[in-house]
Amino acid sequence: MEQRRSSQSFKRKELVGKLDPVGVRAFKAAADSAKLRGNPYVELVHFIEQLVLSDRSDVQMIIADAGLDASRLTADMTRAVDKLPYGATSIEEFSDHIFHAIQEAWN
């Protein structure tokens, strides 16, 4: 079990290492946001929310090109985050969904 966790940690670090500077900042900001809100886990919605909030990012250009209402999207994500468990004093784990999304982006 310990070896599996160790190899999983290595793979996660490798995936995060593939992020560009905007992605790394969003990844760290997602953890900060989850901790500030008292969420025990950093979920994919935390990460996407931070990507959307990143100035002049690819995600912002995609939102604009698709004609999406960025403020409505942000409000929807805030509602989704508000539904997550809260009350934790520290982050226990990053959701596997974040790493799966990063991996799929590279495939």
pLDDT at 1: 44
Q: Which range of residues forms the domain containing residue 52?
A: 2-106
Number of domains in the chain: 1
Question: C-alpha distances in angstroms, 10 versus 28, 31, 42?
Answer: 17, 18, 18
CATH of the domain at 30: 1.10.1780.10
Give me the amino acid identity at 76: D
pLDDT at 4: 47
- Whether 2 has a pLDDT exceeding 50, the answer reads no
pTM for the full model?
Answer: 0.86
Give me the amino acid identity at 54: S
> What CA–CA distance (Å, rounded) separates 50 from 7?
27
For residue 33, how many other CB atoms are within 10 A of its CB?
A: 19
Q: Which pLDDT band, with edges at 50, 70 and 90, does 56 fall under?
A: confident
